Structure 1
Amino acid sequence: MVPAKSTFLDAFSGSTVVSRYAKQLGFAVTANDWEPYAEALAQCFLELRQRPFRNVFLLASALPSIQKSV
């Protein structure tokens, strides 16, 4: 099975830990659960792309510090 060409079905996704692992392996992921919290977690961890957020933190850490005297 080639992850890049396969879909992983997580029928009871819950905390999405298994779905996130499948996504890291390169699978297209379909997650399902009855609970609303699982939908929120799936949207957060599975739908959002992580790279843009990493770049924001890298840029922010490179900013010069502001020193104020009190």
Structure 2
Amino acid sequence: PASYAGPAPPPPRADRFAFRLPAPPIGGALLFALRYRVTGHEFWDNNGGRDYALRGPEHPGSGGNPEPQGWIHFI
């Protein structure tokens, strides 16, 4: 599950959420969609039918360093 991470700096007006995803293996990918439930309603975002993708490194040692404050903005 995601946790609320506070409002994003304007513009645009948006909220931020933090979550952890497993790292995909070398040459692999993790495809995902987002679900948001609030006040009895459920909303889905699947990147226009293409799913969001987190891709693993192409070769061993090519993964780079993650951004500790990094986040992806979904609208």
With the length of structure 1 as denominator, give the TM-score of the two structures.
0.21
Structure whose residues are more often helix by fraction: 1
Larger Rg: 1
